[in-house]
Amino acid sequence: RAALRLLGRAQRVPAALVCEVAPDRAAAVAATVASGDLLAVDAAEAMRLCESGPGRLARISEARVPLAEAENSRFVLFREADGVHEHVAIVIGERANWPEDVPVRLHSSCLTGDLFGSLRCDCGEQLRRGVAAIDALGGGVLLYLSQEGRGIGLANKLRAYGLQDEGLDTIDADQVIGFSKDERDFRIAHEMLDELGIDRILLLTNNPSKVAALQKAGIHVVGRRAIYGEVTAQNQRYLRTKASRHGHWLNDLLNEQGEPGDDEPACLPAADAAHRA
């Protein structure tokens, strides 16, 4: 189990060859480890590492970066303690002019959608519409998290796409490779918001897991606003899977017969319906 968790954390295919060292080979294996030719990792320590979260993020650098959807924007880069992953807080507008309930969006990186405009997802549209919505609301923060493919990495996301082309949905494809339906750790977002001094937010999301994770971390999520992309022939199945198997609030987008507000989260104020896009 520890080997699989380590591989997953490194965004490698979680498949490991496990064998028991015979008593008469223990001394030889210990000598190989001592020589540096073999790395030994204690299984209990590996599990503690994988369950501990990203650790305290370091605020590394920042600069003004005008965006097409929000000209008054500033990028603040954070790095995880292990030095592997970096995340960006896009600070929009002047903080003195922000609403009391700071508009915030958590956006996981998607190379194919954000950069190349992939039709398999709605990520690129959600990214740009999220920035524009925050700007229109008076400013706030978009957290751009290095969590490609719901945390499995680009290589595995492309493997999953291949399986989807053979008939699996987005969740089953990830699970066939060896991952859970969502490998992301939203404690990273809490760390970033804490560093920025934000604890009361209007969350722009369709994902109940993001609401729950931030609330659990102590962030006061006072309301929610939907952020939709376009439904296309290429992404419709993906979106329906997110709604039916991930519980995303997408009924209004996917079902023209659905009554507005029938997928509102019970944990948020009823007035939140007024914030819907």
The Cα–Cα gap between 195 and 187 comes to 12
Catalytic residue list = 182, 184
Q: What one-character-per-residue DSSP string does the chain give?
A: -HHHHHHHHTTS-------PPPGGGHHHHHHHHHHTSS----HHHHHHHHHS-S-SPEEEEEEE---SS-SSEEEEEEE-TTSS-EEEEEEES-GGGS-SSEEEEEEE--IIIIIT--TT-SHHHHHHHHHHHHHHTT-EEEEEE--HHHHT-HHHHHHHHHHHHTT--HHHHHHHHT--S----THHHHHHHHHTT--EEEEE-S-HHHHHHHHHTT-EEEEEE-------TTTHHHHHHHHHHS--S-HHHH-TTSPTTTT--TTS-GGGGGG--
